[in-house]
């Protein structure tokens, strides 16, 4: 899945370069867009009272600076790690280029929201993970 986004002034720091945490937010936008494109209703997904899918780990590595006005493409892939856990990798490039400007990873777990214990991924989310696997 590919997600396009133009970097806005609010995404940058005092040096005019995208602030690292804001690029992670853009990655999360790509994750949400991909889930929605698969047919999962975002309102239900993020507000389901019985199931939660928290991020356990996030990291990002920058290779080149990103500036206000740059259009980027986030190329997302996912991988099932266990019946209750998956990871998402985000390769970020400038539009029209092939060379990576950054790469991020998030690791997610599915839990019972009340008991705070792991549970298997819901069927629709598991299908999404498998459909976006390399």
> What pLDDT is recorded for position 125?
93
> What pLDDT is recorded for position 123?
92
Q: Phi/psi of residue 55, each to 5°?
A: -85, 125
In this prediction, residues 6-33 reach a mean pLDDT of: 94
CATH number for the 2-131 domain, one of 3.40.960.10, 3.10.180.10, 3.10.129.10, 2.40.110.10? 3.10.129.10
Where are the domains positioned within the chain? 2-131
CA angle 80–85–90, rounded 5-degree value: 60
pTM, entire model:
0.92
* pLDDT digits 0-9 by tens, 83-119: 999 999 999 999 999 899 999 999 999 999 889 999 9
Q: Phi/psi of residue 106, each to 5°?
A: -125, 145
> What pLDDT is recorded for position 44?
82
* pLDDT digits 0-9 by tens, 31-73: 999 999 999 888 888 886 788 999 999 999 999 999 999 999 9
The rounded distance, in Å, linking the Cα atoms of 43 and 59 is 26
Catalytic residue among 11, 13, 59, 70: 13
21's CB contacts (< 8 A; 6+ apart) are none
Residues in the chain, total: 134
Q: Is 103 helix (H, G, I), strand (E, B) or coil?
A: strand
Torsion of CA 74, 67, 13, 58, to 10 degrees: 20
Active site residue 98: no
């Amino acid at each position: 899945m590919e997600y396009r986004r133009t970097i806005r002034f609010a995404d940058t720091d005092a040096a005019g370069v995208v602030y690292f945490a804001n690029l992670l937010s853009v990655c999360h936008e790509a994750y949400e867009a991909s889930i929605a494109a698969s047919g999962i209703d975002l309102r239900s997904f993020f507000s389901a009272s019985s199931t939660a899918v928290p991020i356990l780990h996030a990291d990002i590595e920058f290779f080149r600076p990103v500036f206000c006005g740059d259009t980027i493409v986030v190329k997302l892939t996912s991988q099932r790690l266990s019946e209750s856990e998956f990871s998402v990798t985000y390769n970020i490039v400038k539009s029209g280029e092939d060379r990576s400007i950054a790469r991020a990873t998030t690791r997610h777990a599915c839990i019972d929201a009340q008991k705070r214990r792991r549970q298997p991924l819901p069927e629709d989310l598991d299908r999404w993970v498998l459909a976006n696997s390399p």
